[in-house]
Amino acid sequence: MCGIIAYVGPRQAYPVLIKGLHRLEYRGYDSAGICLMNKNLNIYKCKGKVSDLEKHVKGEDIGGTLGMAHTRWATHGEPNEVNAHPHFSQDKSLAVIHNGIIENYATLRSELKNRGYKFVSDTDTEVLAHLIYDILKHEKVKLEEAVRIALNHVIGAYAIVVLSKDNPDKIVAARKGSPMVIGVGEDEYFVASDATPIIEYTNNVIFMNDEEIAVIERDRPIQIRTVRNQKKTPYVQKMEMSLTAIEKGGFDHFMLKEIYEQPRSLRDSMRGRLLVNQGVINLGGIKEYEQKLLNAKRIIITACGTSWHAGLVGEYLIEDLARIPVEVEYSSEFRYRNPILYEDDIIIAISQSGETADTLAAIELAKSKGATVLGICNVVGSSIARATHAGVYTHAGPEIGVASTKAFTAQVAILTMMALKIAGSKGTIPRSKFQRYLTELEAIPDKVEKILTLDDQIKEIAEIYKDVKNSIYLGRGYNLPVAYEGALKLKEISYIHAEGYPAAEMKHGPIALIDEQMPVVVIATKNGTYDKVISNIMEVKARHGKIIAVVTEGDEQVRALADHCIEIPETEDFLVPLIATVPLQLLSYHIAVMRHCNVDQPRNLAKSVTVE
Q: How far apart are CA 34 and CA 68, in angstroms?
A: 6
Cα dihedral across residues 100, 390, 368, 316: positive or negative: positive
Q: Name 467's Cβ contacts closer than 8 Å, sequence gap at least 6.
A: 595
Which residue, 353 or 479, is less far from ligand F6R as judged by CB?
A: 353
- Residue closest to 35 by CA, chosen among 129, 107, 142: 129
In whole angstroms, the minimum distance from the beta carbon of 331 to ligand F6R comes to 8
**Options 138-146, 257-265, 345-353, 590-598: segment touching ligand F6R (CB under 6 A):** 345-353
Q: What is the DSSP letter of 560?
A: H
Q: Contact 583/454 with Cβ under 8 angstroms?
A: yes
Instruction: By CB under 6 A, tell whether 351 contacts ligand F6R.
Output: yes
Q: Contact 195/204 with Cβ under 8 angstroms?
A: no
Which residue, 375 or 475, is less far from ligand F6R as judged by CB?
A: 375
* Sheet (strand 170-176) strand order: 87-88, 94-102, 156-164, 170-176, 212-217, 223-226, 231-232
Measured in degrees and rounded to the nearest 5, phi and psi for residue 545 equal -70, 160
Among 270, 403, 462, 490, binds ligand F6R (CB under 6 A): 403
Angle, CA of 157, 382 and 103, to the nearest 5°: 5
Q: Which amino acid is at 290?
A: E
Q: How far apart are CA 603 and CA 612, in angstroms?
A: 18
Which residue, 160 or 488, is less far from ligand F6R as judged by CB?
A: 488
In whole angstroms, the minimum distance from the beta carbon of 329 to ligand F6R comes to 13
- Quick note: the x/- pattern for ligand F6R over 440-479, rule CB under 6 A, is ----------------------------------------
Among 160, 224, 266, 304, binds ligand F6R (CB under 6 A): 304
Strand partners, 499: 472
Instruction: By CB under 6 A, tell whether 179 contacts ligand F6R.
Output: no
Among 178, 193, 196, 306, binds ligand F6R (CB under 6 A): 306
Residue 607 designated active-site = yes
Which residue, 3 or 33, is less far from ligand F6R as judged by CB?
A: 3
In whole angstroms, the minimum distance from the beta carbon of 378 to ligand F6R comes to 8
For 28-40, give the secondary structure using H, E and C. Answer: CCCEEEEEEEECE
Which residue, 73 or 88, is less far from ligand F6R as judged by CB?
A: 73
Q: Which amino acid is at 286?
A: I
Which residue, 587 or 609, is less far from ligand F6R as judged by CB?
A: 609
**Options 10-18, 29-37, 194-202, 298-306: segment touching ligand F6R (CB under 6 A):** 298-306
In whole angstroms, the minimum distance from the beta carbon of 604 to ligand F6R comes to 12
Q: Contact 77/122 with Cβ under 8 angstroms?
A: yes
Which residue, 220 or 603, is less far from ligand F6R as judged by CB?
A: 603
Q: How far apart are CA 142 and CA 167, in angstroms?
A: 9
Antiparallel, parallel or unpaired: β 326-330 and 299-303: parallel
Among 71, 125, 307, 601, binds ligand F6R (CB under 6 A): 307
Antiparallel, parallel or unpaired: β 94-102 and 156-164: antiparallel
Instruction: By CB under 6 A, tell whether 498 contacts ligand F6R.
Output: no
In whole angstroms, the minimum distance from the beta carbon of 359 to ligand F6R comes to 5
Point out the catalytic residue in the list 47, 447, 546, 607.
607
Point out the catalytic residue in the list 2, 46, 377, 565.
2
Antiparallel, parallel or unpaired: β 66-72 and 94-102: unpaired
Number of alpha carbons in the 13 Å side-chain half-sphere of residue 422: 26
- Quick note: the x/- pattern for ligand F6R over 352-391, rule CB under 6 A, is xx--x--x--------------------------------
Among 124, 194, 258, 492, binds ligand F6R (CB under 6 A): 492
Residues engaged in binding ligand F6R (CB under 6 A)? 304-307, 351-353, 356, 359, 403-404, 488, 492, 609
Residues belonging to the active site: 2, 607
